[in-house]
Amino acid sequence: MKKILVIGAGPAGLTAAYQLSKRTTVKVSVFEASNSVGGLSKSLKLWGQTVDLGPHRFFSKDNRINKLFHELAKGKYSIVNRKTRIYYNRRFFEYPLRFFNVLSNVSIFKLFRVVYFFGLQKVFPTKDTSTFESWIVSRFGKELYNMFFKNYTEKLWGIPCNRIDSDWAAQRIKKLTLFQAIKHSIFQDKNNTHKTLVDQFMYPKGGTGKLYDNAVEQIIENKGSVFLNQGVKRILLNESETRAIGIELMSGEKVLGDHMISTMPLTIMVKHLPGLPPEVKKAADSLYFRNTILVYLEVDRNNLFDDNWLYIHSNDVLHGRITNFSNWCPTLNANKTSTILCLEYWCFESDGIWEDIDSKLIELASKEVREIELVSEKDIILNGKVIKIPRSYPVYETGYSNNVNIIKKHLDKIENLDAIGRYGSFKYNNQDHSILMGLMVSDKVLGESGIDLWNVNSDDEYQEDAAVDVLTD
């Protein structure tokens, strides 16, 4: 093996390239379509401060992932105490839920309905739990589903919950039950290791994107290459269409290689392969992504609220999540007295909001952040910026896994080609999952057997359900 080509400079692609450049003398080249690295986990400078593309925290129980973090962070990170809340029915609920906080925020009648519908599930359990709605209702009851799951989930995915596959719930909530949630909310058991109950995370002092900037430096130092503004059009196969032999760039230039690692959207990559069987093309056409619009607002005041981020479950506003970067790492706001907020809007390309001009979106975000009373009418909004991210969330519509499996079987017939990352594997990966895929694909490329990249983020064990692994010297 002489040359490895990596498509995409996000967490998965750069992790793979970093590991391979460190562990072998094979030439590693990364091709990134945009003008910066980090993918969805990149950081950027804005109004004299540093922000990310929404909230990106880091915590994992996997020693390999933690080791990589410490290598790339180079000791420059903070341990952040997580605080998040849910905005529902014009009130803020602690998240994870706290028993007495819930009591103070809902009526006795509402609590009765929670208990009644939960009990109803125990007596007459839902048998078919193949959808997100039925999966959640079966474990928490209809009332809690309506309060804390339905509105937010439908904002995120843009389709009804009874059309969302239960995989989404299984991957994000796992084995948590109502009894476990109540126990934790009362006793605040610090030994609870469930993913949603982690209360600290590690964060690089220069923003989460600093990890990937450092990875690029190391790749280049290890004689590898990272090319920006070099989008890849397609994977090149041999005449028998059984082995990947290179890539074709958007410019038309062809680059040959011995192994291809792709993090480009699975649907786009597959549909550009030659000799695609009709059933594989149909499967690729059936998969689709959700877009994100990020609206950043600079507010002329500090200490707006204590949360790292907020989940907005209210249908009174369109945005679904707000990040307050002042409450992450002190180095981000560079001693500024203003606060940068990031409001997230999710949509499809066919939705009108995707085509709205920046000024209209900034006006909308400014209105909504005042409407939920996080920013007062007296507070001055100094600046606004909009970033639109296409294909940021793979949509888990019911039946999606059948289409992914059809594609997987086809790709398994092609040697020297691996698809990883959130985009590449069509999985709702966290940063940690994508890093793990990058680590595992490097092992596979170097000859380790028995590695199933498609199984990452599919089993019962979640990557982020342990205490923060603080490096001790």
Asked if residue 2 has pLDDT above 90, the reply is no
Tell me the residue ranges of DSSP E strands in 238-338.
Answer: 244-249, 254-256, 259-262, 289-299, 309-312, 321-324
Interatomic CA distance for residues 242 and 340, integer angstroms = 50
∠ CA 388-298-368, rounded to 5°:
70
Number of H helices, E strands in the chain: 17, 19
Q: Tell me the mean pLDDT in the region 412-439.
A: 94
Torsion angle in degrees (nearest 10) through CA of 277, 290, 296, 333: -70
Reported confidence tier of residue 449, pLDDT bands at 50, 70, 90:
confident
The values of phi and psi at residue 164, to 5°, are -95, 135
- Asked if the 289-394 domain carries CATH number 3.90.660.20, the reply is yes
How many whole angstroms separate alpha carbon 7 and alpha carbon 269? 10
Angstrom CA distances, 33 to 51, 71, 165, 363, stand at 21, 26, 31, 30
Amino acid sitting at position 392:
S
Q: 408 burial class (0-12, 13-18, 19+ CB within 10 angstroms)?
A: middle
Q: Which residue's entry shows tokens 């032999």?
A: 245
pLDDT band at 175 (very low <50, low <70, confident <90, very high): low
Instruction: At 358, list the tokens.
Output: 């920046």
**Neighbouring residues of 351: CB distance < 8 A, sequence distance ≥ 6:** 158
Q: Which residue has the higher pLDDT, 180 or 260?
A: 260
Asked if 84 and 306 touch (Cβ cutoff 8 Å), the reply is no
pTM: 0.91
pLDDT, average across residues 87-114: 84
**CA 414, CA 338: separation in Å to the nearest integer?**
53
Q: Which residues contact 423 (CB under 8 A, 6 or more apart)?
A: 8, 10, 263, 264, 265, 266, 391, 394
Per-residue pLDDT of 222-279, as tens digits, reads: 999 999 999 999 999 999 999 999 999 999 999 999 999 999 999 999 999 999 999 9
Q: How far is CA 34 from the centre of its chain?
A: 19
Residue range 214-229: average pLDDT?
97
What integer is the mean pLDDT of 144-160?
93
Q: What is the signed CA dihedral for 193, 194, 195, 197, rounded to 10 degrees? A: -80
Domain range annotation of the chain: 3-48+208-287+397-455, 99-185, 289-394
For the domain bounded by 3-48+208-287+397-455, which CATH number is listed? 3.50.50.60
Q: Give the residue with greater pLDDT, 204 vs 178.
A: 204
CATH class of the domain at 99-185:
mainly alpha
